[in-house]
Amino acid sequence: MQFMLMINEDESAYAGPDGAALLEATLAGHMKLAEDLVAAGVPFSGERLKPAATATTIRWENGTATLHDGPFAETHEELGGFYIIDVESLDAALEWARRIPVPKGGIEVRPVWPMGAEG
């Protein structure tokens, strides 16, 4: 089944004096993870997102949409990117999620609703 691994991280971790080196190390970690996924034959996709400052949010209230400058929720940790992987179980998905490099933050793992399934 498919799982989405959402990387919620504190962007400010990359802003300090060592930020550039940290970013480089993190990106290298993602490259390595992608290689490992390929080597293990796990179907996957994933993207890195631009910083939360570039986000625009549409909010619906009583049938009208208003635009907001910024991400959906104001928190220290923003969605910075994601993977979608196809593995046997949550246990396997968690195993891969643990290997995602996150200097500061966490990973949310959610099953993808299968197309055509009841619900």
Partner 1 sequence: MADGGRGLSLPLDLAQAIMAARPRVVAALAAALHDLDAAEEAFAEAAARCLVLPAPPRDVGAWLFVAARRRALDALRKKAAEVRSTEALAQVSDMADILELPEPIPDERLRLLFICCHPALGAEVRAALALKVICGLPVAAIARLFAVSEQAMFQRITRAKVKVRDAGIAFELPPRRDWPERLGAVLLALELAFTAAYADAGGELAADVGEDLGAEVERLALLVAELLPQEPEALGLAAQVLLARSRAGARVDGEGAMVPLSRQNPARWDGLRIEQARALMDRAATLGRSGPCQVMAAIQLTHARRAFDGRTDWAAILRLYDVLLALRPSPMVALSRALALAQIEGAEAGLAELDALPAERLALARPFHVARADLLAKAGREDAARAALGAALALKPPRAERLWLEGWRDRLA
- Any contact of residue 108 with partner 1 (CB under 8 A)? no
Please select the residue that binds partner 1; options are 38, 48, 89, 104, rule is CB under 8 A: 89
Please select the residue that binds partner 1; options are 1, 15, 27, 40, rule is CB under 8 A: 1
Asked whether the beta carbons of 82 and 5 are under 8 A apart, the reply is yes
Residue among 26, 45, 24 at smallest CA distance from 34: 45
- Any contact of residue 54 with partner 1 (CB under 8 A)? no
- Any contact of residue 88 with partner 1 (CB under 8 A)? yes
Strands (E), 26-92: 44-48, 56-61, 64-69, 78-86
* Selected range binding partner 1 among 21-29, 38-46, 73-81, 91-99, rule: CB under 8 A: 91-99
Report the residue number, 69 or 91, with the smaller CB distance to partner 1: 91
Could you tell me the CA-to-CA distances from 32 to 38, 68, 117 in Å, in that order?
10, 36, 34
Q: Which residue blocks in the chain are alpha helix, DSSP H?
A: 19-39, 90-97
* Selected range binding partner 1 among 6-14, 21-29, 54-62, 84-92, rule: CB under 8 A: 84-92
Catalog residues that contact partner 1 under the rule CB under 8 A. 1, 3, 88-94, 111, 114, 116-118
